[in-house]
Structure 1
Amino acid sequence: MKALILSDSHGLVEEVEAIISRHRAEVDLVLHCGDSELPEQHQALQQAIVVRGNCDASPFPDEWSETVLGVALYATHGHKYNVKMTYVTLSYRAEEVGAHIACFGHSHVATAFKENDIIYINPGSIRLPRDRKEGTYCLCERTETETIVTFYTKDGDVVEDMIYSFPL
């Protein structure tokens, strides 16, 4: 399973379209973790699974979960789980839905970590990054032996210090 994950694009259209176009052929799904600030039917989001962020007016769902090629995925924006302060509440929800991978946004801080056998991914923001100068998104690939999360700049360059490998 391979997923393209982005979040917090805050109205960017050309950049979202370019990122999805760049990776669409190599991924099984595209997740946008909220604050796209685009209408629900916007062309840029037609190939993506989108959840609602605190800045979104469109009626996207608050969360999404599904098993894709044997991998239980969960996505939410994170504002309802107070992710700027703690990951505990989000971890409870990820455990409730049986997620292998939990994706979120809201803080604009790109990160990936594993806790209690769940991999948590925040792709950062392609528009307003925090803790980094470059806007980011990521690809997450699950193989038989590991999960690899690779972060990219919005222009498609690998962020060399943000490649994570989590053994299964």
Structure 2
Amino acid sequence: MDYLFVSDAHGDRAVLGKIVTAYQNKVHAIFYNGDSELPADDELFNTMLPVIGNMDFDAMFPDDRQYHDATIDIYQTHGHLYQTELNLNQIRQKVSTLNIEVVTLGHTHQLGAEVIDNKLFINPGSIALPKGPYAYIGGTFAILTVTADTLQVQFYNRDLRAVPELQFSFPR
């Protein structure tokens, strides 16, 4: 089962539309981790599961989301409400008592995938304004593939191409 995570488009609706068109029937769910700068009633969000970012001003976006299906339990937020630009301590405390396997967030514009406190944290980076050591890629999103034994994260660029050196596998 595959799940797509994208964040921080900052008004670049075209790239979000391209991702939705390419993946809406290929992944189980598309999570949008905030800072779209679009209204919550934009038709793109009929296909995506959005949360509010610090640059979103439509109060109809939720602050966070707990997602559950037969395959995975996911906690989604943008990150600004937990000061993730400083560290992950506040969000770690928030999710410590939740029965979830994956935490997904954005806000920092830096991609990452790592297990902390027995939970996989995934930041897809920014699809429009990337920062950090992978900024040269020009924008990224991530797909999580869930199997019985592993959680596999593959990062993609704006051209919807997998970035070979950004593929990670974590045991379940």
TM over 0.5: yes
Q: CA deviation at 1:96?
A: 2.5
Structure 1 match to 2:142: 138
Aligned equivalents of 2:33, 2:8: Cα separation in 1 = 7
Query: Could you say which residue in structure 2 is the equivalent of 1:107?
Result: 108
TM-score, normalised on structure 2?
0.94
* Pair 1:157 & 2:158 matched: no
Aligned equivalent of 1:16: 16
What residue identity is the alignment partner of 1:157?
Answer: R
C-alpha distance in structure 2 between counterparts of 1:154 and 1:58, whole Å: 26
Instruction: Tell me which stretches of 4 or more aligned residues in structure 1 moved more than 6 Å.
Output: none
Identical columns (%): 30
User: Does the 8 Å contact 2:36/2:56 carry over to 1?
Assistant: yes
Contact 2:71–2:146 (CA<8 Å) still a contact in 1? no
Contact 1:17 1:44 in 2 (8 A): yes
Indicate the SS of the match to 1:113: strand
**SS in structure 1 at match of 2:40:** coil
1:13-55: CA deviation from partner (whole Å, max 9, x where unpaired) = 1110101111112211110000011001112222011000000
Aligned partner of residue 24 in structure 2, secondary structure? helix
SS in 1 for 2:126: coil
Aligned length: 168
C-alpha root-mean-square deviation of aligned residues, in Å?
A: 1.0
Superposed, 1:28-107 pairs within 5 Å as 28-59=28-59, 60-107=61-108
Preserved contact between residue 65 and residue 97 of structure 1 (Cα < 8 Å)? no
2:52–2:62: 8 Å Cα contact kept in structure 1? yes
